[in-house]
A and B are shown apart, each in its own frame.
Chain A
């Protein structure tokens, strides 16, 4: 009884917080405020996972979404300064509201009208051992594929945002002053060497 009351309070409080924070992303005009609201929404959703007795996933949500993805988005906003700090709307503001509202209403209607085959008193004591067992036995192959996917995405992201392409000769002065750091040393050294050798041949 007491536990049910706590779950109900957590559900309504955290659910309202998650929905209000998500709405705030639409309404706010400042991109950084939008990111902070997104992180708040993610933390509220981690609390909702806890009310579903999903402890490991809740911690992973805080670590990966609220932590890593939030910091990543803040970095992306910092790397795209000026001209893009305003949270403006497209022409799909009205149609998007109608479409999103319709999706929510239809899915909510189905959720409340369907006679789900539920079990009473479900839930887990601790999910960590069961998840570890599942990931190393039954779902070991998808787990390995996910690791390959992660490293492919990581390498792809590094290649995409790298300032210099290897082999490309930069300015003779090695001046990439416009670029925000992260320049690679080697091409510049080659450029300098090329400049020096050409100077010697000229002399």
Chain B
């Protein structure tokens, strides 16, 4: 069976949906971050699939873009986890349903 561009795009869409579900459904801030990372990885897969199968003068641009996404994702993960640890120190929890200082 020939594996083409549409198969990779379909798999990427499925992983993106799962990541979105994790980010929406979970209560722990760290798990939400994990869902976002899965979404970013799905987008990376889509970039690489287009870079491999798409018609372009500089197909390597997809790879460069993925490397920048990796960089930004690493920075985002470090800052977000530092925020989670700080919130835990101040509030004693990382449950997003109980971090409601602005609510009342």
Which residues from chain A sit less than 8 Å from chain B, CB to CB?
Answer: 4, 7-8, 11-12, 15, 18-19, 22-23, 25-26, 31, 34-35, 38, 41-42, 45, 48-49, 51-54, 56-57, 60-61, 64-65, 68-69, 72-73, 75-77, 79-80, 83-84, 86-90, 92-93, 95-97, 99-108, 111-112, 114, 116-119, 122-124, 127, 130-131, 134-135, 139, 142, 146, 149-150, 152-154, 156-158, 160-161
**Do residues A7 and B3 form an inter-chain contact, with CB atoms below 8 A?**
yes
Known: A49-B44, A73-B77, A116-B5. 12 other contacts (CB 8 A): A25-B35, A52-B52, A60-B70, A61-B70, A69-B77, A72-B78, A75-B81, A93-B25, A99-B21, A100-B20, A122-B52, A161-B86
Instruction: Name the prevailing secondary structure of the A interface residues.
Output: helix
**Do residues A76 and B18 form an inter-chain contact, with CB atoms below 8 A?**
no
Q: How would residues 61 to 75 of chain B score, 1 for a CB under 8 Å from any chain A CB and 0 otherwise?
A: 101101110111111
CB contacts between A and B, total, < 8 Å = 266
Within 8 A of A (CB), among B53-104: 53-55, 58-61, 63-64, 66-68, 70-79, 81-86, 88, 92-97
Which of A54, A64, A104, A119 is within 8 Å of B55, CB to CB?
A119
